[in-house]
Structure 1
Amino acid sequence: MPANSLNDLFRHGLGDIYDAEQQILAVLDQMETETADETIRNRVRKHRDETEQQIQNLERCFELLSAQAPRVQCAAIRGLRDEKRAFQQENPSEQALEVFNLDAANKTEHYEIASYRGLIDQARALGQDDIRRLLEQNLRQEEEMSRWIEEHQPQVLERMQGGTRPRR
């Protein structure tokens, strides 16, 4: 369906982030099993729960629009998943994979943050206040996760550089 109006573009954008969140959910499951650090593993688990809630919020957005989610594939997240698969084929060390995963997670968070900010602006322009509030809830969770990664990534990098073991 061509996007000829702001409403069409808004629905397309909602479909894109809906697909992104579903792809991310699968990646979070994988990240949890690949992470040796208990603090990171617990935060990934928490964000997985948040992602499930975000998907429910997006489904509620479509209900409020009396529409079904369009079949949109989020190429950006698919690209990040492809990048992860390619890196894993290089047989990285456990610590290298942990650093890679945190970096990829932060890239993902920034994509989601930008997507939600744009959708919030569109919802505001369309007078969709209930939808805007749901999207703002998702945005807050993504911003919180991005801050958490940025606060903890230096420790993971230091551990990799110094060869210290993660907390289990």
Structure 2
Amino acid sequence: MKSTTKSTQNGKANNTKQGSKAAPDNSNAEQGFRDLFEDELKDIYWAEKALTKAIPKMIKNTTTEELATALEDHLEVTKGQVARLEEVFQILGKAARGKKCEAMDGLIKEAEEIMEDTPEGIVRDAGIISAGQKVEHYEIATYGTLCAFAKTLGEDEVANLLQQTLDEEKEADEKLTEVAEASVNLEAASK
């Protein structure tokens, strides 16, 4: 059991726990926050570029025309999102560089496993939708956070660009839900 002691320093009472770490120095927190923001931009940039390679594999494995069309449309949107991120880096005066996104890498691998382990047909299509929506939800969370970070940092132009992408990701998720509920899931359940 850790004991709590009170000490005074410069006349101020201070509660400390034996064995606990000292409070972090927040004097450089603003720069650390900006570094975190830029690091997360590199992460999602890598993710979007990886998706431009993964989505065509998903399209190739679909059997439903409606799903293939939704994925083809989103592939074009994703290419635009890569360009938009490059614009964000330019506004920030940074080189557009990616940093491997472990989360997206895992989601893409999961999608590949679904396509390998599920026989061709409507059930695989349902699995592709599931994998696609996991990707969209990750992107929605990431872009929502990046928008908030950009606003906090006073990067309004960047925030507006990131908001455009966030809106597109939400639309893609809604489209996948529509395809799933209108046909794919019903057909898969009845096979």
Same fold (TM over 0.5): yes
The aligned counterpart of 2:100 is: 73
**Which consecutive aligned stretches of 4+ in structure 1 deviate over 6 angstroms post-superposition?**
none
Distance 1:91 1:44 in 2: 19
Q: How far does the alpha carbon of each residue in 1:93-146 deviate from its partner, in whole angstroms, 9 at most, with x for none?
A: 322221111000000000000000000000001111111111011011000011
Distance 2:104 2:187 in 1: 28
Rg larger in structure: 2
Tell me which protein shows more helix as a share of its residues: 1
Go from structure 1 to structure 2 and tell me whether the alpha carbon gap of 1:85 and 1:38 turns closer, same or farther (over 3 Å shift).
Answer: closer
Do residues 161 (structure 1) and 189 (structure 2) align?
Answer: yes
| 1:74-93 pair list within 5 angstroms | 74-93=101-120
The aligned counterpart of 1:166 is: none
State the SS of the aligned residue for 2:178: helix
Compute the RMSD of aligned alpha carbons.
Answer: 1.6
Query: What's the CA shift for 1:87?
Result: 3.1
| 1:123-138 pair list within 5 angstroms | 123-138=150-165
Distance 1:39 1:108 in 2: 19
Relative contact order, CA 8 A, sep 6+: which one is greater?
Answer: 1
Contact 2:48–2:78, Cα closer than 8 Å, also in 1: yes
Give the alignment's TM-score, normalised by structure 1.
0.89
Corresponding residue pairs, total: 161
The aligned counterpart of 2:148 is: 121
Do residues 149 (structure 1) and 176 (structure 2) align?
Answer: yes
Structure 2 gap segments, 5+ residues each: 1-29
Aligned equivalent of 1:28, options 34, 55, 61: 55
Distance 1:58 1:152 in 2: 28
Do residues 112 (structure 1) and 139 (structure 2) align?
Answer: yes
Contact 1:62–1:68, Cα closer than 8 Å, also in 2: yes
Tell me which protein shows more strand as a share of its residues: 2
Contact 1:11–1:70, Cα closer than 8 Å, also in 2: no
State the SS of the aligned residue for 1:5: helix
State the SS of the aligned residue for 1:72: coil
Structure 1 gap segments, 5+ residues each: 164-168
Query: What's the CA shift for 1:91?
Result: 5.0
Do residues 100 (structure 1) and 127 (structure 2) align?
Answer: yes
The aligned counterpart of 2:85 is: 58
Contact 1:116–1:135, Cα closer than 8 Å, also in 2: yes
% identical aligned pairs: 30
